[in-house]
Structure 1
């Protein structure tokens, strides 16, 4: 077993407006607001392990997937028991499907309301 320095507390996502993006991730992941700075420039959501922190970046540029001048830096992979049903639910709360789908029977690349990619995945480890 590898020793760790500290446990993972949060995954942070840059965005233009944390208040506008928070409802999407609350609905997508079933999270609740845990903390916000007085100016709402940082909103932390909790309820699924590490917190998800949305941070305001004034010069935000949406990542382009799979190619583009601003490539993705990271993305979330979400376990989907029924891929089509999860895609429909994500679309209903504001996601959109990415144009490029490398393996649509195994996972679907989705984009959050400000362009961050995330995957709904039927792939599981053996």
Structure 2
């Protein structure tokens, strides 16, 4: 092993606002003290209950990706497992997400953008049987 994943960093215009969006989606604590970095107007973090840390970094002249335009590609995306796609969709839209894929047919996933334009997917996740 060469490294441990410390966090996933998302560029954006408003780090604190985007951290709050993901806190409402995933739970956790925004800007919890962590010796690995200092929070500021240009850097916010979200420590989730699963142990994942997302960080949000202010980028000068931030330009969001445009899905699926290769001239401004998505750069990355996050997949979130949910038990009920319809309910989860209502919740993320209420938080400020936008729908990127309007063809919500019988697929087991749907594609959205967070308030800063980063694509993410809600994926139907069946509970594991023991």
What range is the shorter-chain TM-score in? 0.7 to 0.9
Given the superposition, is the C-alpha separation of residues 109 and 58 from structure 1 closer, same or farther in structure 2, using an over 3 Å criterion?
Answer: same
Q: 1:87, CA displacement in angstroms?
A: 0.5
CA distance in 2, matches of 1:123, 1:79: 5
Q: 1:69, CA displacement in angstroms?
A: 2.0
Q: Which residue of 2 aligns with 1:67?
A: 69
1:8 aligns with 2:5: yes
Given the superposition, is the C-alpha separation of residues 104 and 70 from structure 1 closer, same or farther in structure 2, using an over 3 Å criterion?
Answer: farther
Q: 1:86, CA displacement in angstroms?
A: 0.5
RMSD: 2.2
What runs of 5+ residues in structure 1 fail to find an aligned partner?
A: none
CA distance in 2, matches of 1:55, 1:38: 10
Aligned length: 122
SS of 2:90 mapped into structure 1 = helix
The C-alpha deviation readout for 1:12-34, integer Å capped at 9, x for no partner, is: 00001102212101101112122
Q: Which residue of 2 aligns with 1:28?
A: 25
CA distance in 2, matches of 1:23, 1:104: 31
Q: Which residue of 2 aligns with 1:57?
A: 59
Q: 1:54, CA displacement in angstroms?
A: 0.2
1:86 aligns with 2:83: no
SS of 2:25 mapped into structure 1 = helix
Q: Which residue of 2 aligns with 1:45?
A: 46
1:111 aligns with 2:113: yes
Q: Which residue of 2 aligns with 1:122?
A: 124
